[in-house]
Structure 1
Amino acid sequence: MKYNLSKIMLKAWKIYRKTKDISFAESLHRAWTSAKAEEVNNTRIAEAKKAANVAEPVNTWTGWKKVGYEVIHGSKALFGAVPIWGSKGDSATYKASFFGKSQVQPI
């Protein structure tokens, strides 16, 4: 797989500035871990989406907010997935809930 080195370096700087008490080398390590986890995460999300029989575009609550939408109050997640959290450096997993395009409205 080919990685976008510019994106990885930008993420390393973002982690370095945001996180206190870590070296830049650790930030770069976390950025690489995150980049490598991206493919695994996309596969896990696609499998969970297929298992839930969802055809519409989906995103997390935060993901929708970043693109200018908000999840309608009271909406229940269509499905959950367990992606890898690479930017913390420990490759821990977390539970993410996904909402469909029909469950959001423009901000």
Structure 2
Amino acid sequence: MRYDLSRLMTKAWKIYRQNKEKGINFAESLHRAWLSIKAEKVNNSRIAEAKKTANIIEPVNTWARWKELGFEVVHGNKALFSTVLIWGSRGDGATYKASFFGESQVQPI
């Protein structure tokens, strides 16, 4: 499998800049970026499986991703489904539970 080297380096520099105060060097940032990109395939399959299990056909994103896209989740809406994802940028194999909201549950900011 081939990876986009430009995307890998951009992610590594972003991680490095965000964690410079914590004493993380660039080599560690590059390692975390690599783990993060490799984890995307696993995370995407977990999301697809959870979406299929919940019988959801509309586009979904996390609360934070909807905000990045210029939307906000309407107050009072509950997540359509949740799944455990790998947090590759931490570099320690940590996982977290992500909740997903559908396109029908958001409005433009």
TM-score of the alignment, normalized to the shorter chain, above 0.5:
yes
Q: 2:55 aligned to 53, 56, 60, which one?
A: 53
Query: How far off is 1:25 after superposition?
Result: 0.3
TM-score (norm 2): 0.96
Runs of 4+ in 1 over 4 A off after TM superposition: none
The structural deviation recorded for 1:64 is 0.3
Distance across 1 between alignment mates of 2:93 and 2:40: 11
Question: Matched residue pairs, number?
Answer: 107
Distance 1:76 1:2 in 2: 38
Shift of 1:2: 1.6
Q: How does 1:1-107 map to 2 (within 5 A)?
A: 1-19=1-19, 20-107=22-109
Quote the RMSD (CA, aligned, Å): 0.6
Instruction: Report the Cα distance in structure 2 between the residues aligned to 1:61 and 1:2, rounded to whole angstroms.
Output: 30
Instruction: Determine the C-alpha separation between the residues in 2 that align with 1:92 and 1:6.
Output: 25
Superposed displacement of residue 91, structure 1: 1.6
SS of the residue 1:102 aligns to: helix
Distance in 1 (CA, whole Å) between partners of 2:93 and 2:51 is: 22
Q: Which amino acid aligns with 2:36?
A: S
TM-score, length basis structure 1: 0.98
Percent identical across equivalent pairs?
73
C-alpha distance in 2 between matches for 1:6 and 1:25: 16
